[in-house]
Amino acid sequence: MQNRLMTRSAVVAAIVVANLAVGVPALAAKPRPAAKPKPAAARVQRFTAQGLVVSATASTLKVITRQLKVGTTSLPANTVVTVARPGGKNKTGNLAGYAVTLSGNATTSGTSVKLAASQEIVKANPAEVFLGVVTGSTATSLRLATHSTARGDHLGDDDSALTVDISTAVSTVDGAAAAPADGEFAVVLGERDGNTVVAATVDAYTTAPDVVAGRISSVDGTTVTLAPRGGHGRSADGRISSKPHRPHGDDSQDPSGQDPSGQDPSSQDPSDQPAATTVDLAPGGTAVPVVLNGGATTDPSALVAGENIVILGDSSSGTFTPTIAFAFNGDDRRPAGCHHHPHG
């Protein structure tokens, strides 16, 4: 009996050993997982960028670019990038709206690009007012089909589309805090570089306001008189129609004193000449806010001849009633972050 048990145990052991012998080669034949590819080495190239500062800290600048080049590759305009500032640039002031030129190293790793500037040049921009219709908007930007622009010594038709960064702007619609929507008429106050604007304020209207604009020729208390400009007028939808006029002494004038069309200017009907526009900026005795140089509000009586002004209002009653005005002079050097005006 004992020999029989020993024999059976030997058989079982032989079967186990045989199974193990079969299993080991099977396990060895199983393919190993493919090795993970090593990440590509970081690549360092030179970059240059120009644009407008959207926001700033002591160590970084957020910039919406007009031009951005990494190595030999040019990236699309209006790209928003964050750039590490050069060592020693410990400014804490508000640089929003400043024009900036940057250069330094771009470190590319996979799809990530880190920009570190070794040179930074910033310059304050004049404020401008842009009037137009919103043709596209997101939470941080809008597209403005501009009707006109006013800034410092410039006033007139612009007729171009602008990309407006509104990420740090105060926005209203019909006077209430809200984001502008497509099709609404908007008044944008901010700084411009090419076709890009960093906005400080955006006032949108579901019904476009009437607009009076031009250069102030005289001020009498709170009443301003705007000098006549050739072809200058106001349409019902708020569009400024402003055709540039030739200054006296322009070489394009016929030295004989004749109009280039061949007509004697003295023989033209005076009624055909544009008339001066007078606006009382304190209708009913209450002065409307006048935003001077995109900064602090001032009293209408503080305005002086030679300044440019854009006045928004309502003429549905038959008389133009102003609600808010934007004036600019030679001291206009205010960054977007400094604009805080009452919304009209």
Question: What's the pLDDT tens digit per position in 69-82?
Answer: 999 999 998 899 99
**CATH numeric code, 128-205:** 2.40.50.320
Percent of the chain with pLDDT over 70: 67
Percent of the chain with pLDDT over 90: 42
Contact in structure between 76 and 60 (CB atoms under 8 Å): no
Write down the domain spans for the chain: 43-123, 128-205, 210-244+273-338
Distances 179 to 157, 205, 209, 224 between C-alpha atoms, Å: 26, 11, 18, 33
Using left for φ > 0, alpha for ψ between -120 and 50, and beta otherwise, residue 175 falls in left
Q: Note whether 43-123 and 128-205 share their fold.
A: yes
Is 43-123 a domain of CATH 3.40.920.10? no
Nearest to 83 by CA among 133, 108, 120: 120
Distances 137 to 40, 140, 325 between C-alpha atoms, Å: 38, 8, 25
- pLDDT, position 172: 92
Contact in structure between 286 and 342 (CB atoms under 8 Å): no
- pLDDT, position 160: 73
How many whole angstroms separate alpha carbon 130 and alpha carbon 149? Answer: 5
This prediction's pTM:
0.70
Tens-place pLDDT, residues 137-190: 998 999 998 766 665 545 555 557 899 999 989 999 998 999 999 999 999 988
Q: Check the CA dihedral 327-343-182-50 and report its sign.
A: positive
Can you give the C-alpha Rg of the chain in angstroms?
Answer: 34
Q: For residue 22, give the 3-state DSSP assignment.
A: helix
**Average confidence (pLDDT) over 28-46:** 73
Contact in structure between 75 and 13 (CB atoms under 8 Å): no
How sure is the predictor about 34, in pLDDT bands with cuts at 50, 70 and 90? Answer: confident
For 65-98, letters b (16+ CB in 10 Å) and e give: bbebbbeeeeeebbeebebbbeeeeeeeeebbbb
Tell whether the model's pLDDT for residue 109 goes beyond 90: no
